[in-house]
C-alpha cells in the first residue's frame, strides 16, 4: 500500500492542520509538520504535527498514524510510538490515528492494555481513532477546507459519487494554493482508488497527463520503479544462490540511486558468486 502511504505523508507535510481537524481539533492558530524523530527511536510515527491552539499557552504535538486498513499491528505501532515519545519528551502526546478503509476487518479500538509478565505493572493507553468511511462527505465539504478534499472520496457518500467528485475538483481549482494545484488532484485520485474503480470518476479529478505531471506522483512512480528493481534483483539472486541471497534485502532497500540498481540488475545474472555481488553493494 506504498502509494497510499506516500500520499498520506504528503498531506501531513502540506495540510497537517486539515488532518487535525479530521480528529476534531479546533482553534488552530498556527501549525507545522515536524521531522518525526525521537531520541530513542526504533519505530517512528507516520507524521508529527505541532500546532498552537487558542487558549493554550504552549504548542501541542500530535503524532499521526495513517493506516490503509485496520491492521492488528496498528495498535502495537501506536503503543511503541507513544511510549517512545513519552521517554523523549517527558509528556504523553496527543495521538491521532486515521484508518482509510475497513477492508472487511474489525475496527481499531483505540485502546491498549499491557501488563508485565508477573502482573506487577500495568499500562492502559487510549487514543483518538478516525475511521474515514464513517464521516459524511458532506461534512468535509462543509468545512470549506481544501486540505480536506483528498479525504472526501474515502468518506461516506450518500447517493451517486459523481457530483461529489465534481465538487472536489471545483474546490481544488478554486481554493488550492498555486503550489498544490498539480498535487492535490493526483493525491485525491490515489486515495479514491481505495473505494472506486471507475475511470470516469478519475477523469473528473484530472486527465492522466495532468496526473503524471504532478511532482508528488512523479516521486511516487520513481520509488515504485526502484522497489520493482530491488525485488527483481532479489528474485534472480535467490534463484541462483538460494535463500542466502535474501540477506541482501536490507542493503538493496537502502539504495536510492537508479543507475546503481540498474547496474546490479544487469550483474546479478552474470556474477560468479554472491560475494562478488556483495562488493557492488558497498558504498
Task: Encode pLDDT of 134-181 as tens digits.
Answer: 999 999 999 999 999 999 999 999 999 999 999 999 999 999 998 788
> Is residue 224 pLDDT above 70, yes or no?
no
Alpha-carbon separation of residue 173 from 107, 177, 178, 213 (angstroms) = 35, 9, 9, 16
Residues 64 and 101: beta-carbon distance below 8 Å: no
Smallest Cα–Cα separation from 154: which of 197, 177, 188, 184? 188
Distance, CA of 261 to CA of 229 (rounded, Å): 7
Alpha-carbon separation of residue 32 from 10, 24, 109, 249 (angstroms) = 13, 17, 28, 35
CB atoms within 10 A of CB 7: 24
The set of residues, in sequence order, having a beta carbon less than 8 Å from that of 35 and lying 6+ positions away, is 48
What radius of gyration, in Å, describes the C-alpha atoms of the chain? 22
Q: For residue 217, what pLDDT is reported?
A: 58
Q: For residue 42, what pLDDT is reported?
A: 46
Q: Among 61-75, 128-142, 211-225, 263-277, which stretch is predicted with the lowest mean pLDDT?
A: 211-225
> Is residue 248 pLDDT above 70, yes or no?
yes
Quote the pTM value.
0.73
**Rounded average pLDDT over 33-52:** 71
Q: For residue 38, what pLDDT is reported?
A: 45
CA dihedral of 215, 216, 217, 223, whole degrees rounded to 10: 110
CA dihedral of 76, 78, 82, 83, whole degrees rounded to 10: 10
Distance, CA of 275 to CA of 80 (rounded, Å): 37
Distance, CA of 176 to CA of 183 (rounded, Å): 10
Instruction: For cell 468535509, name the residue.
Output: 140
Smallest Cα–Cα separation from 132: which of 161, 105, 101? 101
The structural domains of the chain, with segments of one domain joined by +, span: 2-134, 137-213, 217-281
Distance, CA of 269 to CA of 271 (rounded, Å): 6
Distance, CA of 125 to CA of 29 (rounded, Å): 28
Amino acid at each position: 500500500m506504498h502509494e497510499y502511504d506516500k500520499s498520506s505523508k504528503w498531506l501531513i507535510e502540506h495540510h497537517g492542520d486539515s488532518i487535525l481537524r479530521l480528529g476534531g481539533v479546533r482553534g488552530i492558530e498556527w501549525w507545522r509538520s515536524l521531522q518525526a524523530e525521537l531520541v530513542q527511536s526504533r519505530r517512528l510515527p507516520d507524521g508529527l504535527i505541532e500546532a498552537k491552539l487558542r487558549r493554550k499557552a504552549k504548542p501541542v504535538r500530535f503524532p499521526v498514524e495513517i493506516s490503509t486498513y485496520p491492521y492488528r499491528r496498528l495498535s502495537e505501532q501506536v503503543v511503541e510510538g507513544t511510549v517512545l515519545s513519552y521517554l523523549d519528551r517527558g509528556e504523553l502526546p496527543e495521538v491521532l490515528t486515521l484508518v482509510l478503509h475497513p477492508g472487511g476487518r474489525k475496527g481499531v479500538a483505540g485502546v491498549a492494555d499491557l501488563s508485565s509478565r508477573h502482573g506487577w505493572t500495568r499500562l492502559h493507553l487510549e487514543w483518538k481513532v478516525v475511521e474515514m468511511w464513517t464521516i459524511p462527505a458532506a461534512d468535509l465539504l462543509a468545512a470549506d477546507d481544501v486540505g480536506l478534499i483528498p479525504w472526501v472520496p474515502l468518506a461516506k457518500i450518500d447517493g451517486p459519487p459523481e457530483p461529489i467528485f465534481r465538487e472536489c475538483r471545483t474546490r481544488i481549482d478554486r481554493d488550492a494554493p498555486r503550489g498544490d494545484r498539480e498535487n492535490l488532484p493526483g493525491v485525491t485520485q490515489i486515495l479514491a482508488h481505495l473505494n472506486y474503480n471507475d475511470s470516469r470518476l478519475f477523469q473528473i479529478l484530472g486527465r492522466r497527463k495532468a496526473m503524471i505531471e504532478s511532482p508528488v506522483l512523479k516521486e511516487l512512480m520513481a520509488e515504485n520503479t526502484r522497489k520493482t528493481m530491488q525485488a527483481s534483483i532479489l528474485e534472480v539472486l535467490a534463484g541462483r544462490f538460494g535463500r542466502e541471497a535474501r540477506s541482501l534485502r536490507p542493503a538493496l532497500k537502502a539504495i536510492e540511486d537508479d543507475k546503481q540498481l540498474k547496474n546490479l540488475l544487469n550483474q546479478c545474472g552474470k556474477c560468479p558468486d554472491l560475494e562478488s555481488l556483495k562488493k557492488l553493494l558497498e558504498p
